[in-house]
Amino acid sequence: MAKLYFRYGSVGSAKTLNLLAVAHNYRQQHKKVLLIKPALDDRFGKNNIRSRAGLEQEADILVDERSDLLKLDFKGIHCLLVDEVQFIPALVIEQLREITHKKKIPVICYGLRTDFKTRLFEGSARLMELADSIEEVKSTCHFCTRKAIMNLKHSNGKAVIDGPTVDVGAEEKYFPACYSCYFQQVTLHAAPSQKLDDTFAPA
Protein backbone atom coordinates (compact mmCIF):
# COMPACT_ATOMS: atom_id res chain seq x y z
CA MET A 1 0.00 0.00 0.00
CA ALA A 2 1.17 3.52 -0.77
CA LYS A 3 2.06 5.55 2.32
CA LEU A 4 0.94 8.84 3.82
CA TYR A 5 3.94 10.88 5.00
CA PHE A 6 4.02 13.85 7.35
CA ARG A 7 7.26 15.82 7.28
CA TYR A 8 7.04 18.61 9.83
CA GLY A 9 9.39 21.27 11.09
CA SER A 10 9.46 24.75 12.57
CA VAL A 11 9.29 27.86 10.40
CA GLY A 12 12.37 28.30 8.24
CA SER A 13 13.32 24.61 8.17
CA ALA A 14 13.29 24.38 4.35
CA LYS A 15 10.15 22.25 4.20
CA THR A 16 8.95 23.82 0.96
CA LEU A 17 12.44 23.61 -0.52
CA ASN A 18 12.39 19.90 0.31
CA LEU A 19 9.00 19.53 -1.36
CA LEU A 20 10.20 21.23 -4.54
CA ALA A 21 13.32 19.05 -4.57
CA VAL A 22 11.19 15.90 -4.31
CA ALA A 23 9.00 17.16 -7.17
CA HIS A 24 12.12 17.75 -9.27
CA ASN A 25 13.44 14.26 -8.56
CA TYR A 26 10.18 12.63 -9.67
CA ARG A 27 10.11 14.68 -12.86
CA GLN A 28 13.74 13.85 -13.63
CA GLN A 29 12.57 10.23 -13.74
CA HIS A 30 9.69 11.17 -16.05
CA LYS A 31 7.13 10.56 -13.32
CA LYS A 32 4.10 12.78 -12.77
CA VAL A 33 3.48 14.61 -9.50
CA LEU A 34 0.73 16.97 -8.41
CA LEU A 35 1.40 19.88 -6.06
CA ILE A 36 -1.34 20.77 -3.56
CA LYS A 37 -1.64 23.77 -1.25
CA PRO A 38 -4.32 25.37 0.95
CA ALA A 39 -6.27 28.09 -0.82
CA LEU A 40 -5.90 30.47 2.14
CA ASP A 41 -2.11 30.66 1.78
CA ASP A 42 -1.75 33.56 -0.65
CA ARG A 43 1.51 35.02 0.68
CA PHE A 44 3.31 34.61 -2.65
CA GLY A 45 0.28 34.64 -4.93
CA LYS A 46 -2.81 32.49 -4.97
CA ASN A 47 -1.30 29.58 -6.89
CA ASN A 48 2.39 29.86 -6.02
CA ILE A 49 4.34 27.47 -3.85
CA ARG A 50 7.52 29.31 -2.93
CA SER A 51 10.42 28.48 -0.65
CA ARG A 52 12.32 31.05 1.41
CA ALA A 53 15.30 30.29 -0.83
CA GLY A 54 13.34 31.82 -3.71
CA LEU A 55 12.48 28.68 -5.69
CA GLU A 56 8.85 28.40 -6.70
CA GLN A 57 6.34 26.42 -8.72
CA GLU A 58 2.65 26.69 -9.40
CA ALA A 59 0.28 24.50 -7.42
CA ASP A 60 -1.92 22.11 -9.39
CA ILE A 61 -4.70 21.94 -6.78
CA LEU A 62 -5.92 24.45 -4.18
CA VAL A 63 -7.94 23.03 -1.31
CA ASP A 64 -10.29 24.34 1.37
CA GLU A 65 -13.06 22.94 3.58
CA ARG A 66 -15.29 22.35 0.51
CA SER A 67 -12.74 20.27 -1.42
CA ASP A 68 -13.40 16.67 -2.37
CA LEU A 69 -10.20 15.19 -3.75
CA LEU A 70 -11.82 11.77 -4.13
CA LYS A 71 -13.76 13.08 -7.14
CA LEU A 72 -10.59 13.88 -9.07
CA ASP A 73 -8.96 11.59 -11.61
CA PHE A 74 -5.39 10.81 -10.54
CA LYS A 75 -4.69 8.33 -13.35
CA GLY A 76 -1.01 8.38 -14.29
CA ILE A 77 0.01 10.32 -11.18
CA HIS A 78 2.93 8.90 -9.20
CA CYS A 79 2.86 11.11 -6.10
CA LEU A 80 0.94 13.93 -4.42
CA LEU A 81 2.98 16.61 -2.64
CA VAL A 82 1.19 18.87 -0.14
CA ASP A 83 2.59 22.19 1.09
CA GLU A 84 1.53 24.07 4.26
CA VAL A 85 -0.55 21.06 5.26
CA GLN A 86 -1.26 22.50 8.72
CA PHE A 87 -3.88 24.75 7.11
CA ILE A 88 -5.72 21.89 5.43
CA PRO A 89 -8.99 20.72 7.07
CA ALA A 90 -9.03 17.36 8.82
CA LEU A 91 -11.65 16.09 6.35
CA VAL A 92 -9.26 16.67 3.45
CA ILE A 93 -6.45 14.91 5.37
CA GLU A 94 -8.79 11.91 5.58
CA GLN A 95 -9.29 12.11 1.82
CA LEU A 96 -5.51 12.03 1.32
CA ARG A 97 -5.35 8.95 3.53
CA GLU A 98 -8.03 7.30 1.40
CA ILE A 99 -6.17 8.17 -1.81
CA THR A 100 -3.11 6.25 -0.62
CA HIS A 101 -5.31 3.26 0.17
CA LYS A 102 -7.69 3.16 -2.78
CA LYS A 103 -5.64 4.73 -5.57
CA LYS A 104 -2.24 3.44 -4.39
CA ILE A 105 -0.62 6.87 -4.71
CA PRO A 106 1.89 8.02 -2.07
CA VAL A 107 1.14 11.38 -0.46
CA ILE A 108 3.92 13.45 1.12
CA CYS A 109 2.78 16.34 3.32
CA TYR A 110 4.93 19.20 4.57
CA GLY A 111 4.00 21.68 7.27
CA LEU A 112 4.15 22.98 10.81
CA ARG A 113 3.27 20.77 13.74
CA THR A 114 2.11 23.49 16.12
CA ASP A 115 1.05 27.13 16.02
CA PHE A 116 2.70 30.05 17.83
CA LYS A 117 0.58 29.24 20.89
CA THR A 118 2.19 25.75 21.05
CA ARG A 119 -1.04 23.99 19.98
CA LEU A 120 -1.43 21.47 17.18
CA PHE A 121 -2.99 22.72 13.96
CA GLU A 122 -6.09 20.85 12.81
CA GLY A 123 -4.43 19.37 9.73
CA SER A 124 -1.26 18.45 11.61
CA ALA A 125 -3.20 16.80 14.42
CA ARG A 126 -5.08 14.57 11.98
CA LEU A 127 -1.85 13.66 10.22
CA MET A 128 -0.23 12.70 13.53
CA GLU A 129 -3.13 10.28 13.92
CA LEU A 130 -3.21 8.88 10.38
CA ALA A 131 0.26 9.09 8.80
CA ASP A 132 2.33 5.98 8.14
CA SER A 133 5.53 7.97 8.52
CA ILE A 134 6.16 11.07 10.66
CA GLU A 135 9.53 12.75 10.08
CA GLU A 136 11.02 15.91 11.53
CA VAL A 137 12.71 18.43 9.24
CA LYS A 138 15.24 19.92 11.63
CA SER A 139 16.44 23.50 11.92
CA THR A 140 18.26 25.73 14.39
CA CYS A 141 16.81 28.23 16.87
CA HIS A 142 16.91 31.84 15.67
CA PHE A 143 18.29 32.97 19.05
CA CYS A 144 20.81 30.21 19.91
CA THR A 145 22.32 27.04 18.44
CA ARG A 146 19.83 24.52 19.84
CA LYS A 147 17.28 22.69 17.69
CA ALA A 148 14.15 24.72 16.96
CA ILE A 149 10.85 23.10 17.94
CA MET A 150 8.65 26.18 18.42
CA ASN A 151 7.21 28.86 16.14
CA LEU A 152 7.55 32.27 17.76
CA LYS A 153 5.33 35.08 16.50
CA HIS A 154 6.43 38.72 16.67
CA SER A 155 4.30 41.83 16.31
CA ASN A 156 5.97 45.24 16.22
CA GLY A 157 9.22 43.62 17.27
CA LYS A 158 7.79 41.86 20.33
CA ALA A 159 6.82 38.26 20.97
CA VAL A 160 3.09 37.60 21.23
CA ILE A 161 0.91 34.58 22.03
CA ASP A 162 -2.51 36.07 21.39
CA GLY A 163 -4.58 36.55 18.24
CA PRO A 164 -6.02 34.10 15.72
CA THR A 165 -4.32 30.74 15.30
CA VAL A 166 -4.31 31.06 11.52
CA ASP A 167 -2.32 34.21 10.77
CA VAL A 168 -0.35 33.70 7.58
CA GLY A 169 3.09 35.27 7.45
CA ALA A 170 6.77 34.63 6.72
CA GLU A 171 10.15 35.54 8.20
CA GLU A 172 9.01 39.07 9.02
CA LYS A 173 6.55 37.63 11.55
CA TYR A 174 7.66 34.15 12.65
CA PHE A 175 10.94 32.82 14.03
CA PRO A 176 12.10 29.27 14.77
CA ALA A 177 12.96 28.83 18.45
CA CYS A 178 13.97 26.21 20.97
CA TYR A 179 11.66 26.04 23.96
CA SER A 180 14.03 27.92 26.30
CA CYS A 181 14.31 30.88 23.93
CA TYR A 182 10.60 30.77 23.14
CA PHE A 183 9.77 30.99 26.84
CA GLN A 184 12.32 33.75 27.40
CA GLN A 185 11.04 35.88 24.51
CA VAL A 186 7.42 35.53 25.56
CA THR A 187 8.27 36.28 29.19
CA LEU A 188 10.21 39.40 28.19
CA HIS A 189 7.81 40.86 25.67
CA ALA A 190 4.28 39.49 25.96
CA ALA A 191 1.62 41.40 27.87
CA PRO A 192 0.95 40.18 31.44
CA SER A 193 -2.30 38.53 30.35
CA GLN A 194 -0.37 36.52 27.77
CA LYS A 195 2.38 35.16 30.04
CA LEU A 196 3.06 31.45 30.01
CA ASP A 197 2.37 29.66 33.27
CA ASP A 198 5.55 29.14 35.31
CA THR A 199 4.89 25.41 35.37
CA PHE A 200 5.87 25.39 31.69
CA ALA A 201 9.18 27.15 32.30
CA PRO A 202 12.25 25.22 31.14
CA ALA A 203 14.44 23.83 33.89
pLDDT tens digits, 73-129: 999 999 999 999 999 999 999 999 999 999 999 999 999 999 999 999 999 999 999
pLDDT tens digits, 57-80: 889 999 999 999 999 999 999 999
pLDDT-derived band at 192 (thresholds 50, 70, 90) equals low
Give the sheet arrangement for strand 158-160, strand by strand.
158-160, 150-155, 174-177
pLDDT of residue 47 exceeding 60, the answer is yes
Q: What is the pLDDT of residue 100?
A: 97
β-bridge partners, 111: 8
* pLDDT (mean) for 10-31: 95
pLDDT tens digits, 176-188: 999 999 999 998 8
Told to judge if 122 belongs to the known catalytic residues of this protein, a careful annotator would answer no
Catalytic residue among 58, 65, 84, 98: 84
Q: What is the pLDDT of residue 199?
A: 41
Residues of the chain with CATH 3.40.50.300: 4-136
The kind and range of the H/E element at 186 are helix 179-189
Q: Measured between alpha carbons, how far is 127 from 113 in angstroms, rounded to an integer?
A: 9
Q: What are the C-alpha distances in Å from 69 to residues 56, 113, 120, 140, 170? A: 23, 23, 24, 35, 28
Q: What is the pLDDT of residue 160?
A: 85
pLDDT of residue 201 exceeding 80, the answer is no
Mean per-residue pLDDT of the chain: 88
For domain 4-136, give the CATH superfamily.
P-loop containing nucleotide triphosphate hydrolases (3.40.50.300)
* pLDDT (mean) for 171-175: 78
User: What's the pTM value of the predicted model, to 2 decimals?
Assistant: 0.88
Q: What is the pLDDT of residue 196?
A: 56
